[in-house]
Amino acid sequence: MRNTSLPPMGTGGGGWGHRLGNALKTTVLLAGLTALLLVVGERLGGPQGLIVAGFFVVVMNFTSYWFSDRIALAMHGAQPLDYAEAPWLHAMVERLAARAGMPKPAIYLLPTRTPNAFATGRNPEHAAVAVTAGLMDILDQRELEGVLAHELAHVKNRDTLIGTVAATLAGVISYAAQMLFFFGGSLLSRDDDEDGLAHTLGNLGVLLVAPIAATLLQLAVSRSREYGADATGAQLCGDPDALADALLKLERGAELMPYDRAPATSHLFIVNPLSGGAIMGLFSTHPPIPERVRRLREMSALTPRSPRAWRSVWA
């Protein structure tokens, strides 16, 4: 049964301090990924490469801010879900959005059986929530509402801009590094240079390190967002246990049916859609599910207490 003694919205993680922190993280992320692109451009093309990379960075930063939500949805083949197709789902999202004091986001469907969901958009007025076909197959209505509340929490907390910018720019860096290997080495070596071998090895090192560095930058801003969205989402739906139960099912679903389309966007999802062992877990964009569930269970146990006690769970 849902708890009715939860504190009102506004005491969770969506305050001005959280939003200011997200703005700072976005700035740091843009600066870091921009520097990576400039380093790759200069290393491979010298001054001309630096100029080309600089122009490319300006275009990509503009694009990632204004269109990264559309790009993220297109990467996964997401299609708009009309009201007539799932009126109950639209009603659920509308009710949660009203509870959060924000406009109802657009709803999209991803054609995959892997159960998962993500939110995107630069602000609450330009937001979308995407759910997979498999999500609605394995969750009951209570658990689904917990997942949707988590995603709306990302929008409310202004997390979605960080996520979509990271997905767009990190994906570009990784893709550019891969494509450069198809130029037959012409960009990787300088035949007229006595230190041509050292130069080539240095360039190869940059191409190998750049995608890893982009991933590490994503990790720096991704994990804390999930804890915050769990807290705000549980508060929004009024049932921390529902979200905890859903996370356990989604983790199992991701293990059985990994989803590796557009890996650069994996941090957008409520649970990591990629498969991986213990070593890959070190590079996961998500905090461990058991820890997230533990905090939600503790949050549920503290519901009769003050909002201050709730916040202590996520400190």
The residues annotated with a catalytic role in the active site are 151
Rounded Cα distance between 227 and 162, Å, is 15
141-156 vs 196-237: helix axis angle to the nearest 10? 120
| Contact of 118 with 262, CB cutoff 8 Å | no
Cα dist. 313→5, 36, 158, 298 in Å? 17, 36, 21, 7
What is the side-by-side strand order in the sheet with 117-121? 79-80, 106-110, 127-132, 117-121
Q: Which residues does residue 80 pair with via DSSP β-bridges, in sequence order?
A: 108
The identity of residue 275, as a single letter, is S
In this structure, what are the phi and psi dihedrals at residue 101, rounded to the nearest 5 degrees? 70, 40
Buried b vs exposed e over 195-232: b needs ≥16 C-beta within 10 Å?
eeeeebeebeebbeebbebbbebbeebbebbbbbbbbb
Rounded Cα distance between 246 and 268, Å, is 17
Going by their DSSP bridges, the two strands 127-132 and 106-110 should be labelled as: parallel
- Both tokens of residue 48? 């001309």
